[in-house]
Structure 1
C-alpha cells in the first residue's frame, strides 16, 4: 500500500487531502474487510492504481520541500558554525590580548627593575667616588697643613740656637729647667744629664736649684751630674733628670719643651695659620 508522509499532507490544501485520503482508503479496504469478516469471502481487490498526476505533484512538492528544509538546515548550521567560529576567534583574541598585555607588563616591570637597579648602582658608585675624592682631598689638605706646621716647628727649633748662644739668657733658662725637673721627679737621689758643652752651666744650675728644691719640697735631696752619659751634642739644650735606678725619667730639654708647647697651643697655631675651624663649636 502506498503511504503519503505526514509532512507532505501538511503541505496540501484541504480538497487535495480529501482526494488523497480516498485513494489511500480504496487501497486499504480489502485488508480492513478481512480483519472484520475473517470467515466471509474476501472481496476482490481492486486493480492496482498508478499514482495520479496530483500525487506525482505532491511527491515532487515533497522533494522540493525536503530540499528546501535541508538548505534551511544547512544555512542554519553554517550560520551557527560561523557565529561559533567568530565567538571562538573573539574569545581567542581577547585571551591573546590579555596574555600579551600580561607579558608586556611583566617584561616592562623587569626592564624597569633592571634599570632602577643599575641607576642605584651608578648612584652608589658616584657616592663612593665622591667620598673617596673628598677623603683624598682632605688627606692632601691635612698633609699640607701638617707639613707647614712641621716646617714652622723646625724653624722654631733653629731659633732655639739664638737662646743658647746668649750665656746669660741660657743660664737663667737652664736654672728653671733643672728646678722644674727635680720637683716633678721628687726622688731622694737624682741624676742630671746635659750636653757635654753645658757641663759648667749645669753645675751652676744644680747648685742653685738644690736649696730652692729643699725649701719648696721640704725634703733632702742628692743630685748627681752624669759625666759618663750626655745628651747629643747636636741637641738644642736643656736637661734630663733620672731617678737613682734610672727607671724614671723627666725630659726637660728645649726640644721636648717646644713639642709640649706646640701640642698645648696647636689649636691656636692652626687658627692663626688656617683660620677658625667651622666644624668645631667650642672655643679654644
Structure 2
C-alpha cells in the first residue's frame, strides 16, 4: 500500500480520496476548504498543513484542481509547489481537467526534476467518484502510466492509456465536446417531438433502438420518465453541472484554435451552454437541464 498525498478535495476529489483510503492506502490531504479537510479526516486521512507538506510525506501525489492556472501554481511554484517538495522518484497524478498546454508544461517540469507524472482526467461525474466507477484517460510515459494504474484502479473501473503527456487531457476534451453536442441534439429532438404531438416515451422507444441512439439519450435522457435514473427525474440536480460542461467546451475551443482544427458544432454548443449558464443559477444545474432553455423556459 502506498502513502498518497491528495490535493483538491471538492465534489470529485473528496470521494476519490475516500476510495483510496477504503482500498488500504495511507493518505495526507490538503485543501483550502476547512469543511473539505474535516470530511477527509472523517474518511481516515491525515490533514496536511500545506501542499508541500502533503507532497513531501507521500510516495504518490494525486491532484484534482479547477483549472490549468491552479495546476501550474500547485505543481510549479518554486517555494511551495509539489515538484520542489516531492520525494525523489515520486509519482505525480493530475486528475484535473485542464488545457493540454498546461498539462504538458507541468509534465515537462516534473520530468526535468526526475519525477514521473501522468495527466489522468476522469469521466463519470460525482456519482462515479463516489461509486469508484470513474474512467481515467491517461497521458504519459509507459512506465509512469503502469505505476499509476493500481492507484487509479482503486477509484475507477477503466484506465485508458491515451498516449504521451497531455493526451489524457486531449481525450477528455474531445469526448466532452461530443457529449455536449449530442446532448443539445437530443434536447432539440425531444422539444421538436413535443411540438409535433409525439410522446416523449415513444420517441425514446424508437431512437434508443435506432440510429439516433447515444449516451445522452439512453443513459442521461433529458426529459423525465424514459430513464428513471437521469437527472431529469430529480429536477436536474447536477451529476455533471452545466458550468463544468461549459468549462470543457471552452477548453475544446481553445485547443481547436491553437491546433487549427475546425469544430463548428463544438463552437455552437459552447455558445448555447454559455447562454444557459448566464441564466441565473442555471450553471449549477445538470448539463442536461439545457433542455429548459431549448424549450423556451426562463
Report the TM range for the smaller structure's normalisation.
under 0.3
The structure with more radius of gyration: 1
The structure where strand makes up a greater share of residues is 2
The structure where helix makes up a greater share of residues is 1
TM-score (norm 2): 0.19
TM-score (norm 1): 0.20
